[in-house]
Amino acid sequence: MEKLLDNQVALITGASSGIGYGVAQALAQAGAAVVLNYHSNAEAAEKLAEEIERAGGFALAVKADVSDPAQVDSMFDACRKRFDTVDIVVANSGLQKDSAFAEMTLEDWQKVLSTNLTGQFLTTQAAVKEFRRRGPRAVSKALGKIICMSSVHEVIPWAGHVNYAASKGGIQMFMKSLAQEVAPERIRVNSIAPGAIRTPINKDAWGTQEALDKLLKLIPYGRVGEAEDIGQAAVWLASDQSDYVVGTTLFVDGGMTLYPGFADNG
Ligand code: NAD
C-alpha cells in the first residue's frame, strides 16, 4: 500500500529521545527513510535505527551537535552519502536551563540560545542549500519541507525560563521570516508548537501525582500529550496533504493556549 512519505528522506535532529524519537518513528511509519541525529545517546539512536530497519524501513543514526556549524555540515554530508539528499528536515533539538532571572548565568543563557535558536538556524540553512543543490524531485510537490520545533512558549510567557521562552519566541519570527523568503522556491517552512508532552525535558512537571494534577489544570483537554501526538502532526505537515500550508505554527497542545485560567471568568 502506498504511504504518505514513500521515497522521501527525513532528517530529525535530537531523535534519540522524546519528541524527536516519536517524530522519527512516525515519519518512518509513513514511509520516509530517516536520518536520526543524536547529541550524546548513540545507543538509543542506534536502537531506533535497528527497530525501523527491522520493520522494513531505512534509517541512519548520525552524531552531531546542532550548535556547531562543522558538525551540522558533516551531518548533511552523511545524509547525502547514504540517501543522496533530504526532503524533510525537522529541527527539533532543544534544551532547558531554568533559573530565576537574577540568578541566570550567561553560560545558561547562551547554551539555550545556541542550541534552540542557533541550532535551528544552522540546520535549516543547510537544508535550504541542499534543497537548492538537488532541485525538484517527483516525490513531493514542494522542493523541500522544514518543520521547526517551537513550543507554546513562543506565545505564553514563562517566568523562571526567560532563556527558553526567548528562544521559542525567536523561533516564531525566525520561522515566519524564513518561510516568506523561500516560499517562492516552493520550500515550505512551518512550526509545530507542542504543549506539555511527556518527555525527559519536563519530567518534573508530570513525574509525581501532585505535579501532574497541577499541570492538568493548564490543559483543557485533560491529558498530557505524547510524542506520538507530535509525530502525527509532523507527518501531515511534511506531506503533500498540507501543500498549501506555509509559514504557520501548528499548536498541538490540548488547548493550553486557550488560557484555561479564564474559563470561569478569571
Ligand atoms: P528531550 O530532552 O527528550 O529531547 C531533546 C533532544 O535534543 C535530546 O535528544 C537531546 O540530545 C537533543 N539535543 C540537545 N542539545 C543538542 C545539541 N546541541 N545538538 C543536537 N541535539 C541536541 O526533550 P523533548 O521534549 O523531546 O524536546 C524536543 C523539542 O521539543 C525541544 O525543542 C523542546 O523545546 C520542544 N518542546 C518540548 C515540549 C515538551 O513538553 N516536551 C513542549 C514544547 C516544546
- In tens, the pLDDT along 140-186 reads 999 999 999 999 999 999 999 999 999 999 999 999 999 999 999 99
In a domain, 209, yes or no: no
- The count of domains in the chain is 1
| Coil vs helix vs strand at 252 | strand
- Does ligand 1 have an atom closer than 6 angstroms to the CB of 191? no
Query: In the block, which residue shows the cell 498540507?
Result: 242
Query: What is the CA 31 to chain-centroid distance, rounded?
Result: 18
pLDDT of residue 201: 87
- Does ligand 1 have an atom closer than 6 angstroms to the CB of 118? no
In a domain, 213, yes or no: no
In a domain, 263, yes or no: no
CATH of the domain at 177: 3.40.50.720
Please give the distance, rounded to the nearest whole angstrom, from the Cα atom of residue 50 to the centre of ligand 1: 22
Under the banding of pLDDT at 50, 70 and 90, the label for residue 215 is: very high
Please give the distance, rounded to the nearest whole angstrom, from the Cα atom of residue 115 to the centre of ligand 1: 9
Q: What does the DSSP 8-state code read for residue 106?
A: H
In a domain, 211, yes or no: no
Nearest residue (by CA) to ligand 1, atom 6, is 14
Q: How far is CA 265 from CA 37, 111, 138, in A?
A: 45, 39, 52
- Does ligand 1 have an atom closer than 6 angstroms to the CB of 23? no
Domain housing 140: 9-200+226-255
pLDDT of residue 119: 99
- Are the CB atoms for 201 and 157 separated by under 8 Å? no
164: annotated active-site residue: yes
- Are the CB atoms for 19 and 92 separated by under 8 Å? yes
Exposed, middle or buried: residue 86 (CB in 10 Å: 0-12, 13-18, 19+)? Answer: buried
Angle value at C-alpha 110, between 122 and 46, nearest 5 degrees: 55
The set of residues, in sequence order, having a beta carbon less than 8 Å from that of 208 and lying 6+ positions away, is: none
